[in-house]
């Protein structure tokens, strides 16, 4: 009998992800070290209408047999709001902490172990590597925003979609900056933005408005884009100063 620990996960998310995990474990339990639910399914931000359920599977060994087995499950469960899981091994995690410290910080902060032993809770994120990735990330995002704005020729609807994608990607960055400033970042989206504002003095109003675009909020998108961009520029300068 396979036992999954789904307590603490939003009920709607748990009902979606349970059959996915069961199907995998019925076939490959001996090859799996641990399974985790990650992301919004563990926070108040989960939306039954808009949110997918994210997960991480840590394998004892990465094999093509497993990849070929799990690939068709994406078609079977993806339409039901289950995202393709991240697949890693324990060695991959340990060897990648210097390359992806921000992503692993987010996994460490926002995960629920539903099967096996929790190896995420004890991973160590080096703050020097984290600051460097934050600098690279925000400069890349500022460049992407500039290019996106130019390519869309001021089309408000398309720029709204750019902002929606951008703010989702910025949340791990915000949590990382809060940690670098010496505070404990919360998991929720709004909490992360508010904590960023407290830690850095950068206004979070434009970030909150960008979040609301996913729910169809009406606003002057072009003005919001400018405010959002300027706030990210201010945050970039703060991240640069952290090097000192």
pLDDT for 20-72, tens place per residue? Answer: 999 999 999 999 999 999 999 999 888 888 889 999 999 999 999 999 999 99
Query: Which range (7-11, 151-155, 160-164, 203-207) has the least confidence?
Result: 151-155
Over 90: is that where the pLDDT of 179 sits?
A: yes
Percent of the chain with pLDDT over 70: 99
pTM of the model: 0.91
CA-to-CA separations, 59 to 33, 119, 169, 218, in angstroms, rounded? 5, 12, 26, 44
What is the Cα–Cα distance from 227 to 220, expressed in whole angstroms? 11
Residues with Cβ within 8 Å of residue 187, at least 6 apart in sequence: 42, 43, 109, 110
pLDDT for 62-110, tens place per residue? Answer: 999 999 999 999 889 988 899 999 999 999 999 999 999 999 999 999 9
Cβ of 113: how many Cβ atoms within 10 Å? 17
Residue labelled with tokens 């995002």: 141
How high does pLDDT run on average in the chain?
93
Pairing of strands 111-116, 32-38: antiparallel
What is the Cα–Cα distance from 35 to 4, expressed in whole angstroms? 9
Are 156 and 221 in contact by the 8 Å Cβ rule? The answer is: yes
Quote the pLDDT of residue 2: 81
Mean per-residue pLDDT for 192-197?
97
């Amino acid at each position: 009998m396979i036992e999954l620990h789904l307590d603490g996960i939003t009920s709607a998310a748990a009902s979606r992800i349970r059959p996915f995990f069961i199907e995998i474990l019925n076939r490959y339990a001996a090859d799996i070290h641990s399974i985790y639910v990650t992301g919004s399914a563990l926070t108040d931000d989960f939306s039954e209408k808009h949110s997918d359920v994210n997960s991480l599977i840590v394998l004892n060994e990465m094999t093509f047999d497993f990849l070929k087995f799990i690939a068709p499950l994406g078609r079977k469960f993806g339409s039901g709001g289950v995202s393709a899981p991240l697949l890693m091994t324990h060695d991959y995690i340990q060897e990648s902490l210097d390359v992806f410290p921000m992503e692993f910080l987010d996994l460490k902060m926002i995960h629920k172990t539903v099967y096996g032993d929790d190896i995420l809770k004890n991973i160590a994120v080096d703050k020097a590597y984290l600051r460097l990735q934050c600098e690279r990330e925000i400069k890349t995002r500022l460049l992407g925003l500039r290019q996106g704005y130019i390519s869309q020729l001021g089309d408000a609807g398309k720029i709204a979609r750019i902002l929606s994608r951008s703010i989702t990607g910025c949340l791990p960055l915000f949590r990382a900056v809060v940690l670098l400033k010496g505070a404990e970042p919360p998991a929720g989206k709004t909490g992360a933005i508010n904590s960023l504002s407290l830690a850095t003095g950068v206004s979070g109003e434009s970030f909150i408005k960008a979040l609301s675009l996913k729910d169809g909020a009406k606003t002057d998108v072009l003005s919001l884009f400018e405010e959002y961009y300027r706030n990210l520029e201010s945050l970039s300068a703060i991240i640069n100063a952290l090097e000192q």
